[in-house]
Amino acid sequence: MSSIVSEPVLSGTSLPVERDKRMMVATGRASGALGTKIADRLGVELTNPGLKTFSDGEVYCRYEESIRGADLFVVQSIAGSARDGLNVNDALMELLVMVEAAQGASAHRVIAVCPWFGYSRQDKKSAPREPITARLVARLLETAGIDRLLTMDLHAGQVQGFFSNKVPVDHMTAMPLLTQFVSDQLGDEANLTIIAPDAGRVKLTQNFARKIGAPYALLEKQRPAQQVAEIGYVIGDVRDKVAVIVDDIIDTGGTLAAAAETVMDEGARAVYAVATHGVFSGNAFETLAASPLSEIVVTDTVPLREGAPDTIRVLTCADVLTETVRRIFTDDSVSEVFAGENQLF
């Protein structure tokens, strides 16, 4: 089932005729729950992409209804899903196959909705002979045939520049959702302090703290190797404060756990963490469960695997994405969703 509106187009004789503009939503297996929430809020039924994995690991897709002439929104984070037996590379290939099938089926526009843009952290060369894999993923999606990308809280804003002018990128953010949560849950704390986990997140933390009406501090961090971080000291006063560490991604949890330990060692009364993307790979659950964090709040851009500690709370970003999808479909302003404040870098 699809959402239909009529728009005037010109026929060969330049006379206006009516064409049905249809919205359809399909979801990959890495974002099934989130895609279902978006479709429900839009009032459309999900279009079944007929996904299956052959015994040799190849991915297959065949849409079970006609998508000809439709604006098809393909919801798929480039993330693993343990429940569905997918790793990040499976999810990426699945997304590419869904886009290719949609183009071959004559969809009018194919919009990739990737709340979590996998490989986004590989956005530059930090050492000789390294790839810029985020750029490669952008090229793959563009080659497959996406007409537009909708994503959330990219690790670095320049990833938008890896796409050509033919593929606009709508970069949304979950920060209003997270600031509202902190205001509702901790807003009465007179000694609330927002913490930037490193210098790269200072602007994000400044905006977050301004929305909350609280001061902010900075953690000094060094990264001697990939997925390894060493926290030095806190720049700012956190003694007897309730600290909230703000980041875009929580992956292995090692950096966050070390940051929480440092903040507590500096005399904080309690420490919380909020982030958009809860990847939680490897031994993240065990690491975070053993940390002094009172609560960790993330969104559902990445499916939460089983075994999560009770300290992890998941908020849905479906409302933000639904409103954005609706505005893309109707060609309305997307920046108005955040009053123009969705660029945080």
Candidate list 21, 37, 221, 241, residue with the active-site label: 221
Mean per-residue pLDDT, 181-201? 86
Fold (topology level) of 175-315: Rossmann fold (3.40.50)
Contact 6, 330 (CB under 8 A): no
Instruction: Delimit the domains of the chain by residue range.
Output: 3-172+318-338, 175-315
User: What local confidence, expressed as pLDDT, does residue 345 receive?
Assistant: 40
Distance of alpha carbon 257 from alpha carbon 253, whole angstroms: 6
- Asked if 338 contacts 197 with a C-beta cutoff of 8 angstroms, the reply is no
Q: State phi, psi for 289 to the nearest 5 degrees.
A: -65, -30
pLDDT of residue 227: 52
Report the greatest alpha carbon distance in the chain: 76
Query: 148-175 as b/e, with b when 16 or more CB fall inside 10 Å?
Result: bbbbbbbbeeebbebbeeebebbbbbbb
Rounded Cα gap, residues 82 and 60, in angstroms: 19
Q: Which of 301, 341, 295, 297 is nearest to 317 (CA)?
A: 301
Residues 2-29 have a mean pLDDT of 70
Instruction: Verify whether residue 241 is a known catalytic residue.
Output: no
Q: How much is the pLDDT for 338?
A: 78
- CATH for 3-172+318-338 is 3.40.50.2020
Residue 98 · residue 141 · CB < 8 Å: no
Supply φ then ψ for residue 133, to 5 degrees: -70, -30
- Write down the pTM of the prediction: 0.89
The string of DSSP codes covering 136-185 is HHHHHHHHHT-SEEEEE--SSGGGGGGS-TTS-EEEE-SHHHHHHHHHHH
Per-residue pLDDT tens over the stretch 37-71: 999 999 999 999 999 999 999 999 999 999 999 99
> Hey, do 3-172+318-338 and 175-315 end up sharing a CATH topology, with the first three levels equal?
yes
User: Which of these ranges, 152-161, 162-171, 250-259, 334-343, has the smallest mean pLDDT?
Assistant: 334-343
